Amino acid sequence: MTPRRDTVQQRAIRQAIESAGRPLSVQEIFETAADEAPGLGMRTVYRVVNRLLDDEFIAPVSVPGMADLYELASVAEKHHHHFRCESCDRVFDVDGCPGGLKRMLPDGFTLAGHEVSLWGRCADCG
Ligand SMILES: [Zn+2]
Ligand SMILES: [Zn+2]
């Protein structure tokens, strides 16, 4: 018995996100998954991405000036930051955190969180 088309498409989408090693846009998920699931459409990608968000299998990543990206929830829960290549528009995870940001706050302020966005050119783009 061949698996249902829907199952093949869902698996291809999950695998695209799992194997990327960096946050992906819906367009990138579509391009990667379409190789494994011919006939895949963007509407299906959006539907499956929303289900994976509901299931907390993936988490949204917001990078200034870009549409939402998605990464595995298991990656998202470990504090990290992102780098956007201005040449190819890909976004990568970066290790480490500058930390010590509480020092920037005026007296009496409480820090609840922070985001740090890096950008430039990736190694492929030189
Ligand atoms: Zn690049
Ligand atoms: Zn940080």
Mean per-residue pLDDT, 95-116: 94
In the predicted model, what is the mean pLDDT of the chain? Answer: 94
Q: Which residues pair with 76 in a beta bridge?
A: none
* pLDDT at residue 2, as a whole number: 61
* pLDDT at residue 1, as a whole number: 54
Domains of the chain: 5-120 (1.10.10.10)
**Looking at the CA of 83, which ligand is closest?**
1
SS3 content of the chain, % helix, strand, coil (to 5): 40, 20, 45
Q: By C-alpha distance, which of 118, 84, 82, 79 is closest to 99?
A: 79
Query: Dmax of the chain from CA atoms?
Result: 67
**Looking at the CA of 95, which ligand is closest?**
2
Tokens representing 105 are 């706050």
* pLDDT at residue 3, as a whole number: 66
Mean per-residue pLDDT, 118-122: 97
**Rounded CA Rg of the chain:** 17
Length of the chain: 126
CB atoms within 10 A of CB 65: 9
Give 52-86 pLDDT, tens digit per residue: 999 999 999 989 888 999 999 999 999 999 999 99
- What is the whole-number distance in angstroms between the Cα of residue 34 and the centre of ligand 2? 34
Give 36-49 pLDDT, tens digit per residue: 998 999 999 999 99
- What is the whole-number distance in angstroms between the Cα of residue 53 and the centre of ligand 2? 23
- Enter the pTM of the model: 0.87
